[in-house]
Amino acid sequence: MTRKKTTPTPLTPLGRAAIRRSLLTVLPDRLSRGRLSRAHLAQPIVLRSVPVFLPGAPDALHGLRIAHLSDFHVGGLIPVERALEAIELAQVEQPDLVACTGDVVDLELAGCEPVFKALGRMKSRLGTLMVMGNHDHLEHAESVARLARRSGVRVLRDEVARLPSGPMVAGLDWTVGVRDAQKRLKAMLDGREELPPILLAHHPAAFRAAVQHGIPLTLSGHTHGLQVGITRGAGDRSQPAKGRALHDGLYHLGASSVFVTRGVGSWFPLRVNRPAEVAILDVRVR
């Protein structure tokens, strides 16, 4: 009797992410008997102050103080307490707006509730806005969005928010690349007489689409600043974006700028010259 060959069931995105975590996080830490993760968590979270000059942008942006948080990756490597520490650092700076650009969750949503509640309780004139990243989509994106909203966080999923006494802000849900971002941003903005001057997008690839629409400021994360670098990495001066990978700091192309934060969490328990950060952006247009 000949047995039929069975086709292997493809892994879900959550399954693939779990394998990556086992290989990049759990295994190295076990081999080091926990020394890697202890040393990693002992490194302080840096408060990064970034002046952002946007000549010609709408006056509504002038003087805006934005706390930019991203990539908490709460889970096996980053405990809830580490995420709460970052949120407290941001709150002390008294921002006008809190912008979270995704990946609050690492793999599982369970256990992340205190982080969303802390984000929702942050005091700022314009509130807390969030877009979701690829990790927020792994288990159940609707559950992540629902928990965030119940906690007082305004989640933008391919939509534009008009803030009371503040600028409009557009938010792209997780996008897989430049073309996807271009298509969805165009659909979001077509027919609008007034365009939002700020875009939140987890992946910095969305910046290319933002440039096409003349959006002055994009905020992104996703890259973790690559976590390891030979030198200290990007300073806080704007760099030309043309022909460069956008992975750490402030970049400009024409009249548009993007800030890519290194975020709070990690893919693996090691950061060299790319510390975890809370970014505070001080915007000037004149």
What are the pLDDT digits (tens) for 87-106? 999 999 999 999 999 999 99
Q: Which residues pair with 158 in a beta bridge?
A: none
Residue range 166-183, pLDDT digits in tens: 899 999 999 888 899 999
Q: How far is CA 245 from CA 8, 124, 146, 248, 260, in A?
A: 36, 32, 33, 9, 11
pLDDT at 4: 53
Compute the average pLDDT of residues 200-227: 95
Q: What token pair was written down for 12? A: 């879900």
Q: Please give the sequence-ordered ranges of beta strands (E in DSSP) within 54-126, or none if there are none.
A: 65-69, 97-100
Residue range 241-284, pLDDT digits in tens: 887 789 999 999 999 999 999 999 998 898 999 999 999 999 99
Nearest Cα neighbor of 115 from 269, 264, 286 is: 264
Q: What token pair was written down for 264? A: 């709070």
Backbone angles phi, psi at 78, to 5 degrees: -105, 110
> Domains of the chain: which residue ranges?
13-284
Average pLDDT, the chain: 91
Q: Which CATH number fits domain 13-284: 3.30.160.60, 3.60.21.10, 3.40.50.300, 1.20.58.100?
A: 3.60.21.10
Task: Enter the pTM of the model.
Answer: 0.93
Which residue in this structure is represented by tokens 């982080």?
Answer: 115
- The runs of H, that is alpha helices, within 151-253 are 178-189, 206-212
Contact status, residue 65 vs residue 35, Cβ threshold 8 Å:
no
Secondary structure class of 50 (helix, strand, coil): strand
The distance in angstroms from the start CA to the end CA of the chain is 81
